[in-house]
Chain A
């Protein structure tokens, strides 16, 4: 079974801090994704990556950046955390292809990081 591991289940940071959320998958998947999940808004795609060092913006990339230096690891970076970035962050991976165009592959999700910005 694919395992997607997010480094923290809960994280509390202060406004203005630089925050790193880490995600690792163990099945050699090409695609990796970061979402945020908020009550009443569902899941919204922040960024995704279809290969090492490749990234594309999702629906809400403002205030975030990402890094993918190795195939198995995808990091989400909050450059200067703000209170409106308090949310549940979900990482996912899927097997291959540029999933943004056509999709058609199951995504495997981590259990999420609940981030609070004070």
Chain B
């Protein structure tokens, strides 16, 4: 199984702070994706990073990948209340983690 761990399970921060979420996996991957899910909605794709990439940016989002440690991080800078959502990482073969619940307090 390519299931790994996402941590923390839940994160509560103040608006304006940075949020860091981690995803680890057990077997080798070709790529890893991060998704966001707002309450009661479907998942929205955020970033895809391939195994030969170490870092990608998209607006306030930064994703890193360390294949030697089998882990990835999603950093949201200058968080906003609208960033409140669940965040999922998905390894290739479409294995999703259980998600990280992020709460951003106004």
- Give the interface of A toward B (CB within 8 A): 4, 33, 35, 40-45, 48, 58, 90, 92, 99-112
A43–B44 touching, CB < 8 Å = no
B residues at A contact (CB < 8 Å): 30-31, 33, 35, 40-45, 48, 50, 88, 90-94, 96-99
Partner of A103, one of B31, B41, B99: B31
With known contacts A40-B98, A42-B88, A100–B93 Cβ distance under 8 A: yes
Name A104's closest neighbour in chain B (CB-CB).
B31
Residues of A near B96 (CB, < 8 A) are: 35, 42-44
Interface centre among A4, A33, A44, A111 (most CB of B within 10 A): A111
Contact between chains at B30 and A99 (CB < 8 Å): no
CB within 8 Å for A106 and B94 given contacts A42-B88, A42-B99, A43-B88: no
Q: Specify which of B35, B48, B98 is in contact with A104 (CB 8 Å cutoff).
A: B48
Beta-carbon contact of B94 and A103 below 8 Å: yes
Closest to A99 in B: B94
Residue of A nearest to B1 (CB): A59
- Interchain CA distance A42-B9 in the complex, whole Å: 11
CA distance A105 to B30 in the complex (A): 11
- Do A107 and B92 form a contact, CB below 8 Å, given A41-B98, A102-B30? no
